[in-house]
Structure 1
Amino acid sequence: MSDAPRVAVFRPADERIDDAAALLESLGAEPVADPMLAVEATGAVPAAAPYVVLTSKTGVELAAEAGWKPGDATLVAIGPATAAAAREAGWTVDVVPDEYTSAGLVEALSGRVAGEAVEVARSDHGSDVLIEVVRDADATVNETVLYRLTRPEGAGESTERAAAGDLDAAAFTSSLTVTHFLEAADERGIREAAIAGLDDATVGAIGPPTAETAAEHGIDVDVVPGDADFAALAEAVVAAATDGDVGPDR
């Protein structure tokens, strides 16, 4: 392996892919920037409710740009990046689950939302599990789609690099990046070869849901950082790819 591991990164096709590539370079990696997400805002904002759940930095930024404020609502931010963006917008974050999992959300909201209305504001690709978990807590749930996530035209260079054995690592930042990676590989007729290439590389997933999606599609995940943010993922993936230590980092 070269001194600079070649790391595929799939952040959205905006400043985030540039920032991700710059971070990887600062860590001594050679980024293979292949945006697998494009954000299309719907123009909607979170509905008024005693509890508002925001699931991503993108959702926070779009709501803030539209002038939305949580007011007296108890604001739940899933993931440290979401919480940081909400605080940067000037909002008070009341609840941050320790884990971005259904169990983590249950623990965070346990005993708090029974009989209450809970607004979940997120992308069009949010997991149904989150909604089910809130309903199981005896809350009334409303879901608002703040933005749609699509696959940018031409995405898929990383699938070709993986199939050719030209990747040392890949950093998946959501379940949808996994899905879009495989769709791009399918379009090129190289799905099996791309997965085989990832088997020979270090594969990182930003959190357990992303890791589970990868596993369901035959992709072995080696690294899951303790914090569900890109910086932690990048650092863990580069360290594992450089050291050849690909055991789970939880």
Structure 2
Amino acid sequence: MTTVAVFRPADERLDDAVALLESLGATPVPDPMLEVDPTGVCPREDADFAVLTSKTGAELAEAEGWDAQTTTVCAIGDPTADALRAAGYAVDVVPEEFSSGGIVSTLEGRVDGARVEVARSDHGSDVLTDGLNDAGAYVHETVLYRLTRPDGAGESADRAAAGELDAALFTSSMTVENFLAAATERGVREDALAGLNDAAVGTIGDPTRETAAAHGIDVDVVPERADFESLARATLAAAE
């Protein structure tokens, strides 16, 4: 069976990821590299457009009582859109490309002079805010949550260093950076990099791929659809 490291936060996303990998005949190594720390802040309600970038952000916006009735709601990706709809929000825009660049391309002809709220984590890409600014929007960013590395993360680094991983699934640049930080703390960074480069490595999106490549990780798979199931299926196929 293919042994695959997965770095989702330790909530239902990790549970779902493990269940999916097991259903595909793989042996998951769950090693959460992200922990969500909500800020308790609500997205602005006076914007013409609001962009949410994650399922977590959608859920936190609902929890803070965000009123979006007069706002054009934009979601990067189907999971974000699904979470918004489940919370009772009408989703007006979902780009074909599930990325910051994709939403900029979709909105750039519509936001000149408009107020655009970007509600996301503290590690969001400048591609989104810079692109919207360049399109003429008045951009305001609200940090809904901070992302940190959980205490004790790093089993996957030890497994990679020992040559025990067949695949690894990175879902953001921060998961790459936190994996390497954990490997460094454990004194196995170089061996872990070597182990990853002997395995099949998949990333969601080009920014994550670029981060991995900048740190010396060879990326084998970037699926066309930026969702976890597509990443898992494509990377497991590459590991066979």
1:127-138 superposed matches below 5 A? 127-138=125-136
Offset at residue 105 of structure 1 (A): 2.5
Match 1:205 to one of 181, 199, 203: 203
Is 1:97–2:95 an aligned residue pair? yes
Match 2:177 to one of 175, 179, 182: 179
Contact 2:100/2:125 (CA < 8 Å) preserved in 1? no
Q: Which piece of structure 1 moves more, 158-167 or 184-193? A: 184-193
**Per-residue Cα deviation, 1:105-162 (whole angstroms, up to 9, x for no partner):** 2320121000011000000111122111110001111000000111000000000100
Distance 2:115 2:50 in 1: 9
Distance 1:181 1:102 in 2: 23
Match 1:68 to one of 41, 44, 66: 66
Instruction: State the SS of the aligned residue for 2:50.
Output: strand
Report the counterpart of residue 212 of structure 2 in structure 1.
214
Instruction: State the SS of the aligned residue for 1:154.
Output: coil
The one-letter code matched in structure 1 to 2:10 is A
What are structure 2's unaligned runs of at least 5 residues? none
What TM-score, normalized by structure 2, do the two folds share?
0.96
Distance 1:85 1:58 in 2: 8
**Per-residue Cα deviation, 1:155-185 (whole angstroms, up to 9, x for no partner):** 0000010011000000001111001001001
Report the counterpart of residue 108 of structure 1 in structure 2.
106
Instruction: State the SS of the aligned residue for 1:7.
Output: strand
1:74-89 superposed matches below 5 A? 74-89=72-87
Distance 1:89 1:237 in 2: 32
Distance 1:103 1:210 in 2: 13
Matched residue count: 239
Report the counterpart of residue 154 of structure 1 in structure 2.
152
Match 2:33 to one of 33, 36, 39: 36
Is 1:21–2:18 an aligned residue pair? yes
Distance 1:102 1:229 in 2: 14
Distance 2:224 2:62 in 1: 28
Distance 1:234 1:131 in 2: 29
Offset at residue 64 of structure 1 (A): 1.2
Offset at residue 240 of structure 1 (A): 1.7
Off by >4 Å, runs of 4+ in structure 1: none
CA RMSD of aligned residues (A): 1.1
What TM-score, normalized by structure 1, do the two folds share?
0.92
Contact 1:101/1:209 (CA < 8 Å) preserved in 2? no
Offset at residue 31 of structure 1 (A): 0.1
Distance 2:81 2:206 in 1: 18
Contact 1:44/1:145 (CA < 8 Å) preserved in 2? yes
